[in-house]
Amino acid sequence: MSELHTPQRPLILGSTSRYRRELVERLHTPFTCVAPDVDEAPIPGEAPGALALRLALAKAHAVAALHPEAIVIGSDQVSDLNGQPMGKPGTHKRAVEMLRAMRGQTVMFHTAVAVVCKATGFVQSDVAVIRTMFRSDLSDDAIERYLRAEQPYDCAGSAKSEGLGISLLDAIHSDDPTALIGLPMIRTCRMVRAAGIELP
């Protein structure tokens, strides 16, 4: 008698980020992307890590409400300069301002991930903290060349380490190497497995 195989629940990435999509593609597991409808404005006085975690959970819950049978991944990243959250620059001018402010500084990146399944009541979340050290000899010309080449205006803090942005840094310290790109995959895999999807 053949063993009955229970099909896995659908996997959804609650994000429109191409960086996160490319990371989840590494799992060789079918998934879809759904844009979460979430207000990403920080609450006054909210710490960067708390902001990232709140938004990751909000995104996962928002998509899970529309797809209750699915296992949903939500994520958010907030860069942190001296306790102040720095979002995505959006414009060239704002990106220049951010990178000048980060020159010679230690900048923390808080990358939160949440996995939710409404049908089973599954909820797990965690935050990876990445400590980066930006070069003190980073010139205005180097900043300009980097921004023109990469145009990282959709990246927290304008720092795109998986590309030319690695040249802006002296060091990166993290226990989850993909967290700086936008999704801590070690944590994500652990939660997705716990939610019921077999990996690999």
Q: What residues act catalytically? A: 76
The answer to whether 110 touches 48, Cβ cutoff 8 Å, is yes
Q: What is the DSSP string of 148-183?
A: HHH--TTSGGG--TTTGGGGGEEEEE-SSTTTTTT-
H helices of the chain, where?
A: 18-25, 48-66, 92-102, 140-150, 185-195
Reference 139, options 186, 183, 99, 111; nearest CA is 99
Cα angle at 110 between 88 and 104, to 5 degrees? 75
In the numeric block, the tokens 């999704």 are attached to 183
What is the identity of the amino acid at 65? Answer: A
* Dist CA 85 CA 160 (whole Å): 17
Extract the tokens encoding 151: 């145009």
Reference 168, options 187, 150, 189; nearest CA is 150
